[in-house]
Structure 1
Amino acid sequence: MTVPAPGPRPGDPRPGAERPVAALRAEVDAAVTALDALDDRPVAEHPAAFERVHAALGRALGAGAERE
């Protein structure tokens, strides 16, 4: 019996879809900058903004680990 090799996890970048550091930095900067507008937004919208920042940071950190 053979065991299949694991495939990519959900959210993993596709092979060959490496993004340049500048693009990742811009994505993180945009997500963090959007937090400045939270004072004017309903509290119910805050979790989605934090999730966007978390996702952007995760992608940037994951890309950094792949470059090592």
Structure 2
Amino acid sequence: MVRKFKAGDRVKVKGGSDGPKMEVLKYIAKKEPIFGFVDRDTYVECVWYRNGERRSRIFHQNRLSKVMQLK
């Protein structure tokens, strides 16, 4: 699968208008549970801050959309 994001990209969860805007940290190697192969191009670790506390989570890249930044 083609990687959709790169480290530093700003993203949000698709369909979630009130969700946090996050930053992509890196792609994560994750073992596919049924067939057992390691997927290095599909899951991304994202970080965001809530009330001054850093949070992170791993998402499938298809659940995310890029946030456009004004320059």
- Calculate the TM-score normalised by the size of structure 2: 0.30
Question: Could you say which structure has the larger radius of gyration?
Answer: 1
- Calculate the TM-score normalised by the size of structure 1: 0.31
Higher relative contact order (CA 8 A, sep 6+): 1
More strand per residue: 1 or 2? Answer: 2
